[in-house]
Amino acid sequence: MSNPQQLRYTKEHEWLSTAEDGVATVGITEFAANALGDVVYAQLPAVGDTVTAGETCGELESTKSVSDLYSPVTGEVVASNQDVVDDPSLVNSAPFEGGWLFKVRVAGEPEELLSADEYTAFSAG
Amino acid sequence: MSTAPRLTALDALHRSLGATMTDFAGWDMPLRYASERDEHVAVRTKAGLFDLSHMGEITVTGPQAVDLLDFALVGNISTVGNGRARYTMICQEDGGILDDLIVYRLAETEYMVVANASNAQIVLDALVARSGGFDAEVRDDRDAYALIAVQGPESPGILKSITDADLDGLKYYAGLPGTVAGVPALIARTGYTGEDGFELFLKPEHAEGVWKALTEAGEGVGLIPCGLSCRDTLRLEAGMPLYGHELTTALTPFDAGLGRVVKFEKPGDFVGRKALEAAAERAETAPPRKLVGLIAEGRRVPRAGFSVVKDGVVIGEVTSGAPSPTLGRPIAIAYVDAAHAAPGTEGVGVDIRGTHEPYEVVALPFYKRQK
């Protein structure tokens, strides 16, 4: 699997896109999706919620487990992916694309995010 | 004692197939190969191939083998015909369940007891301890067998193409020796999925060849390799108990709603008889809790240990829970106070991380195959 170069990553296995007009997209990595197994339920932050970098903002549930979703960035949620709520398997089939989770109007520069290469090394270790 | 997980004879093959492995009862076993949901659906609609070599085989032989089993187990093993199998349990003196088992009668005076991996040593020790005074031998055959299961509606056709055995004459819960892909195997029509299927007990050195032959034979009809994750959701939908979840030493077969496996009418004493007679009476007159099915109205998944609640009061506990691929909703098995255990009981929920999610109480099983 390959982690897109243009994204940045957390050690909790979320990815964050580069902000466009101040809005960045958040999802989980293919590595995380594979580790979870089939995602069957996604509880995402609602539009208007404030999320804080490093804090939980939702949960992803798979056949065998439930995982907290951490926000990689602080800001206001401006969109959450209804397609994933309706069909959580999108997180498995397209974690970097159609399986995105929510969009945030970034209030503060996130710290300690990993580059694609750094994350690849981290998740392999 | 080494703590390194044990590997089955198919270990290298699982890794070459890209399996996600998991530690299960001291064994490194395939959890899933790709999507556990797809694996589940394959077994329900086509066929799935499982490595179950972690299961514990114990052979009991000798002129009094059957007498030993009638004494040591709660079932009436004397009534098991040659070439047939029986689901049964082994209990403590106090009636608590040590394990649930399948006993295969392989020959006139030869039986194979198949125990759960997590309990195989306990069952072996108990059988040895209970064998005093019987002219019978208890043999640890855990390393003598690999176990491959092929399960699902296409499994008879798949197996038929690589065996000379008379599968049409092989009934559910029967087993016969035969040849599969050119090697000797004990072919049993048993399983833990709620589907038709077979379990093949083989020499470990033959496992890889048979696995590959089954894979090839099933290629055109949708057979895929399946891991323990879907095995768990398959058995859960079929309402089958799992030791350590629905069955424990703190519960008798009657508590688990499986009193039918206890055969008081068999001649002679058996371990646990007295305690089980009391348990049977208790279950009849004043059952403390009953095993029920729960179906979610929402999508959050109940897990083992979660509380079952009604009007803010705890009325039971979930023993197994998972998203059900067949029902499309989360399901659970739970022990619930008898007063609230009737199907359709209103206002029952499961406490999922602090939120009381509504659940419907139903009778088990959730799924029954159309025959």
How confident is the model at residue B288, as a pLDDT?
84
Domain B288-362 matching CATH 2.40.30.110: the answer reads yes
R_g (Cα) of chain A, nearest Å: 13
Give strand ranges (E) for chain B.
6-7, 20-24, 27-32, 47-51, 56-61, 85-91, 97-107, 110-115, 137-140, 146-151, 175-180, 183-188, 197-202, 223-225, 289-296, 307-310, 313-324, 329-337, 348-352, 355-362
pLDDT tens sequence across B92-128: 999 999 999 999 999 999 999 999 999 999 999 999 9
pLDDT score, position A53: 92
Indicate which of A31, A38, A93 best probes the interface with B, i.e. most B CBs within 10 Å of its own CB: A38
- Is the CB of B36 less than 8 angstroms away from the CB of A37? yes
Report CA torsion sign: B160, B164, B170, B172: negative
- Average pLDDT of A37-55? 95
The CATH code for residues B6-53+145-237 is 3.30.1360.120
* CA nearest neighbour of B70 among B78, B81, B62: B78
**Are the Cβ atoms of B322 and A63 closer than 8 angstroms?**
yes
Average pLDDT, chain A: 93
Name the minimum distance, in Å, from the CA of B334 to any CA of chain A: 17
What would the pLDDT profile of A47-104 be if each residue is shown by its tens digit?
999 999 999 999 999 988 889 999 999 999 999 999 999 999 999 999 999 999 999 9
pLDDT of residue A125: 73
Regions of chain B short of the pLDDT cut 70: 1-2
Residues of A in contact with B229 (CB under 8 A): 37, 63-64
Q: In the prediction, which pLDDT does A1 show?
A: 64
Distance from the Cα of B323 to chain A's closest Cα (Å) equals 6
Q: Domain residues of chain B, as ranges?
A: 6-53+145-237, 288-362
| CA–CA min distance B198, chain A (Å) | 25
Beta bridge mates, B85: B104
0.90 exceeded by the pTM?
yes
Give the confidence band of A108 by pLDDT, cuts at 50, 70, 90: confident
